[in-house]
Amino acid sequence: METAALIVVLVIALALFFDFTNGFHDTANAMATPIATGALKPKVAVGLAAGLNLVGAFLSTEVSKTVSHGIIREDQISASHVDFLPLIFAGLVGAVVWNMLTWLLGLPSSSSHALFGGLVGATLVGFGVSGVDFGVLLSKIILPALLSPLTAGVIAFIVTRMAYAMTRRYDGKPDGRSGFRWGQIFTSSMVALAHGTNDAQKTMGIITLALIMAGWQDKSNADPHIWVIFACAFTIAAGTYLGGWRIIRTLGKGLTDVKPAQGFSAETSTAATILASSALGFALSTTQVASGSVIGSGLGRRGSKVRWGTAGKIAVGWLLTLPAAGLVGALAALIVRWLPTWGLLVDAVIALVVIIALFLRSRRDAVTAANAMSDVAESGMAVKVKKNPPPTRRQRAIIREQERLKAEEKARRKAEERERERRRADEEARRRAEKKAKAKADAKRSSDEKKKSDAKKKADAKSHADAKKKSGADAKKKADATKASAHDGGKKKSTAGKDGK
């Protein structure tokens, strides 16, 4: 019994550590977009995420029930409940080790799937296929894992298109889309709340499973103890708050091109998908759902294309997580099986080494945008968005109409120009004709005048000549008269002299 108590304590400690790292890692997922768009100051975003993760952990217990009463078939392993405790511990070690490896190698991964993979792998080694309920595993873990990013992506695509269409202006005036930054404060809060609702419960489920196996909780009661809820809620909140430093230092340089309207739509889709799934007990990976939303909302922007290479890498990383973590969990379980006394200790040492390595890694001052970007922000790289998107159908119609009007205006101007040109030519011709006529008239007039003047001159000359002739005749006459009178006078004088004598 003392060994069982020790194992339960170890399981709770490791589960809470896992919860802490989950919060530590996933702060970036919840708050990547609001910080990238400048909706929230990083410190405020981190504080808000921590508080809402805490609240979210109290909202529902459906996912916890799936983990504690769904995946593992307790009825098949009822004879050796206490034997199962080291396997839960081994499963947790598998999950932590896989998380650590993917983090160090920069591979996309999901903490939640690492947890389920580790648990299933360890159970398969301990009790064979009869220990796992594959129906629940398929319907509550594997299928939601495959379908939830798709669901979130499709919804994000639809609502992004809607958000852009509803706020689009065709007159070039401000569209007020920066107002989506206010909205992002609420939607990112919803994502943090949803994260608390889904992820904190996974740890609650693991602890509840350990308590049931140790006989400290009634098997028929699926709800976690209140102290378990409090412990998990505060641990995930603490992890979220302390994980914020990475965001403060790195997300300011976020490489993903996320506009406020797009971020708002992506976060709404993420929160809606996680909350709806949590209510039905689906244990999702919030990282995968948020990544699906970021990709879907990116595709919702005009002119965007998928970078299939990057998207494929992300998808392969996700698909590998469950079996790979299962393999690591199975190896940890094998150690427990092969070394009944020391196996647990070896696993504990491995877990401790991994935790110390994780701590040292987190203390290292080598955080850059390249190696510490959140998986969600990185998933945005799977979509290539054009800087100048192509016009919408209505914009195309407007452009066509503008071009038609422009062409009409051009044609009208051209016609007017032609008309003006014609008028100018007519005017010119008329003026030229007038000028010619005038010149002709002038010439005629001048020739007439010349003729007239010549005639006049001739007449004048004639009259002058006549006058001269006349005056000459007169003068001759006068001279003759004078001569005659002078002859007559001499004659008289001589007559008078003769008389005087």
Site residues for another protein, 196-215, by CB under 8 A, read: 197
Under a CB-based contact definition with an 8 Å cutoff, are residues 243 and 25 in contact?
Answer: yes
The reply to whether 230 sits near another protein by the rule CB under 8 A is no
- Judged by CB under 8 A, which of 105, 166, 226, 360 binds another protein? 166
Helix (H, G, I), strand (E, B) or coil at 306: strand
Interaction between residue 179 and another protein (CB under 8 A) = yes
Q: Which residue's CB is nearer to another protein, number 176 or number 497?
A: 176
Residues 58-97 that bind another protein (CB under 8 A): 59-60, 62
| Nearest of 109, 53, 106, 43 to residue 252 by alpha carbon | 43
Cα(143)–Cα(158) distance, rounded to whole angstroms? 22
71 near 119, Cβ under 8 Å?
A: yes
Query: What is 318-378 written as a DSSP string?
Result: HHHHHHHHHHHHHHHHHHHHHSTTTHHHHHHHHHHHHHHHHHHHHHSS---TTTS--HHHH
Among 177, 225, 307, 313, binds another protein (CB under 8 A): 177
In this chain, which of 158, 315, 334, 355 binds another protein, going by CB under 8 A?
158
Tokens 């909350």 found at:
275
CB of 42 to another protein, least distance (A): 7
The answer to whether residues 290 and 29 touch, using CB atoms and an 8 Å cutoff, is yes
Point out which span in 40-48, 109-117, 199-207, 318-326 binds another protein (CB under 8 A).
Answer: 40-48
**Of 22, 27, 151, 291, which one interacts with another protein (CB under 8 A)?**
151
Residue of 11, 36, 228, 333 interacting with another protein (CB under 8 A): 36
Is there binding between residue 370 and another protein (CB under 8 A)?
no
Q: How many residues bind another protein (CB under 8 A)?
A: 72
Question: Kind and range of the H or E element at 384?
Answer: strand 383-384
Write the CB contacts of 363 (distance below 8 Å, at least 6 apart in sequence). none
Closer residue to another protein in complex, CB, 19/62:
62
Of the candidate residues 39, 114, 207, 290, the single one contacting another protein (CB under 8 A): 39
Question: What is the rounded CA–CA span in Å between residue 482 and residue 485?
Answer: 5
The reply to whether 282 sits near another protein by the rule CB under 8 A is: yes
**Residue of the chain from 128, 215, 252, 490 that contacts another protein (CB under 8 A):** 252
**Binding region for another protein (CB under 8 A) out of 38-46, 341-349, 398-406, 490-498:** 38-46
3-state secondary structure of 383: strand
Q: Is 335 in the site for another protein (CB under 8 A)?
A: no
Asked if residue 127 binds another protein (CB under 8 A), the reply is no
Determine if 259 is a binding residue for another protein (CB under 8 A): yes
- The answer to whether residues 53 and 23 touch, using CB atoms and an 8 Å cutoff, is yes
Least distance in Å: CB of 268 to another protein? 5
Task: Output the smallest distance, CB 193 to another protein, in A.
Answer: 8
Instruction: Give 217's DSSP letter.
Output: S
At 340, phi and psi to the nearest 5? -55, -40
Any alpha helices (H) in 70-221, and if so which ranges?
A: 81-105, 111-127, 134-136, 143-167, 180-213
Helical pair 286-299 and 308-338, crossing angle rounded to 10 deg: 170
Of 175, 219, 223, 313, the residue at the interface with another protein (CB under 8 A) is 175
- Cβ contact 71:84 at 8 Å: no
Is the CB of 23 or the CB of 144 nearer to another protein? 144
Tokens of residue 225, six digits: 């103890």
265 sits near another protein (criterion: CB under 8 A): yes
Nearer to another protein, 39 or 93 (CB): 39
Closest contact distance (angstroms) between CB of 118 and another protein is 22
- Structural contact between residues 196 and 63, judged by C-beta atoms closer than 8 angstroms: no
**Footprint (CB under 8 A) of another protein, residues 131-150:** 134-135, 138-139, 143-144, 147-148
The single residue among 13, 83, 101, 178 that binds another protein, judged by CB under 8 A, is 178
Query: DSSP 3-state assignment of 38?
Result: coil
**E strands within 239-321?**
305-306
Does 116 help bind another protein (rule: CB under 8 A)?
A: no
Please identify, using beta-carbon distances, which residue of 193 and 200 lies nearer to another protein.
Answer: 193
